[in-house]
Structure 1
Amino acid sequence: MDINARIACRVRELRDARGFTLDALAERSGVSRSMISLIERGLSSPTAAVLDKLAAGLAVTLASLFEDEPRGSAPSPMARQAEQPVWTDPASGYVRRNLSPPCRSPVQLVDVIFPPGKRVAYDGAAREVEIHQQVWMIDGVMELTVGEALWRLEAGDCLAMQLDRPIAYRNPGRKAARYLVALATLPPMNPRRS
């Protein structure tokens, strides 16, 4: 399945599972109703920032938007490399590979290759679930701004953060940077109503 078709199906499945209308998800996420409709019909190639807003509105991680919804039998605890979804952000060109199997673990792993000189910013939308993230640098250099703090990561460095504030990723180097993202989701604290 094409990655945009996978995202389209997944956003629709998650929205339907929560009983949200397009208007309700638009209000919760800050993404326009028309944009959500285009995404769900596979007619838009959304940016990482838009997908992060949708993920926050749906109370899931960004990585969850790339998973296949298991049908029938229980999902496999194995994710073969050939089956791992790969997506490229149309705005920055960063490439992410979801490494984790779709077995609904509270931990997800993502491999990212980030082009030199590029930047991606997430606004830190309010989330119903508490998501913790660690970024472990494999190669190259990245600058992460977490809230007001600026961190420079080089190969071997690891930074932990909670996804509850604005975060920006920037590759100041001359070569692509590669890093592993580990995400852990905790149960909802104060559920919002749609």
Structure 2
Amino acid sequence: MEFPKTEVGKRIRYLRKSQGLTSEELAKLAGISQSMISQIERGQVSPSLETLWKLSHSLQVPVFSFFEMEESNIVKISRAKETKVVKRVRPNVSYELLSPSSGKQMSFFKMVVEPGEDLNAPLMYHVGEECGIMLKGSLRIEVEGEIHIINEGDSVYFDSSLPHRFMNLGEENAVSIWAMTHSF
């Protein structure tokens, strides 16, 4: 399967223009070149995960929104066989989108964190709030320097603008369900 660079580029262009930004302004916000923005938007290059993360932070949208097409349906059903798995920033974390997030105020997803401690994992932060519940395993959650452990059945809530990261110190995949709000 090939990376959908044309669709991702169109989506980034749409989000940039809907916020009234020029490609030069977005490039400056994201810390990448204007020519890179142009190449991405025209589907000429496949952006790295780091570049997608910078763009999502600069546009204040979740990375998931780059992989969705606009839909006019008021009710959206996400079928189990049709969910989209997106890997983001860290190679041992996968996100399965359970709801549309494009242009929405909230995202709903399943997060699977493979075992292993990675103290070099980047801290994440973005506009909004998030909460999650552990279905299987446990997670070490660092939020603004404070460490919290959540186990199966536990839930957590925090302000997403605070620097945070997740680690699975167990020996099996940690599986959780998350809801995240956005500001558009």
Partner of 1:9: 10
The 8 Å contact of residues 53 and 63 in structure 2, kept in 1 or not, is answered as yes
Partner of 2:46: 44
Q: Structure 1 residues 122, 10: CA separation in 2 closer, same or farther (over 3 Å shift)?
A: farther
CA deviation map 1:14-53 (0-9, x unaligned):
1132232332112223445455455443633532x54343
Residue 81 in 1 paired to residue 80 in 2? yes
The one-letter amino acid paired with 1:51 is L
Q: Unpaired runs of 5+ in structure 1? A: 189-194
TM-aligned CA deviation for residue 115 of structure 1: 1.1
Partner of 1:140: 137
TM-aligned CA deviation for residue 10 of structure 1: 2.3
Q: Structure 1 residues 161, 32: CA separation in 2 closer, same or farther (over 3 Å shift)?
A: farther
Residue 63 in 1 paired to residue 64 in 2? yes
The 8 Å contact of residues 23 and 34 in structure 2, kept in 1 or not, is answered as yes
Partner of 2:181: 184
TM-aligned CA deviation for residue 133 of structure 1: 0.1
Partner of 1:191: none
Count how many residue pairs are aligned between Structure 1 and Structure 2.
180
TM-score normalised according to structure 2 size: 0.79
Partner of 2:167: 170
SS in structure 1 at match of 2:166 = strand
Q: Structure 1 residues 183, 89: CA separation in 2 closer, same or farther (over 3 Å shift)?
A: closer
Q: Structure 1 residues 144, 36: CA separation in 2 closer, same or farther (over 3 Å shift)?
A: farther
Q: Structure 1 residues 178, 59: CA separation in 2 closer, same or farther (over 3 Å shift)?
A: same
The 8 Å contact of residues 52 and 122 in structure 1, kept in 2 or not, is answered as no
Residue 106 in 1 paired to residue 105 in 2? yes
The separation in 2 between residues aligned to 1:174 and 1:34, in whole angstroms, is 44
The separation in 2 between residues aligned to 1:32 and 1:173, in whole angstroms, is 40
Q: Structure 1 residues 7, 139: CA separation in 2 closer, same or farther (over 3 Å shift)?
A: farther
TM-aligned CA deviation for residue 171 of structure 1: 1.2
Percent identity among equivalent residues?
Answer: 26
Q: Structure 1 residues 123, 3: CA separation in 2 closer, same or farther (over 3 Å shift)?
A: same
TM-score normalised according to structure 1 size: 0.75
The separation in 2 between residues aligned to 1:175 and 1:65, in whole angstroms, is 30
TM-aligned CA deviation for residue 150 of structure 1: 0.9
TM-aligned CA deviation for residue 169 of structure 1: 1.3
The one-letter amino acid paired with 1:46 is S
The separation in 2 between residues aligned to 1:180 and 1:101, in whole angstroms, is 15
RMSD value over aligned CA atoms?
A: 2.9
The one-letter amino acid paired with 2:182 is T
The one-letter amino acid paired with 1:27 is K
TM-aligned CA deviation for residue 161 of structure 1: 0.7
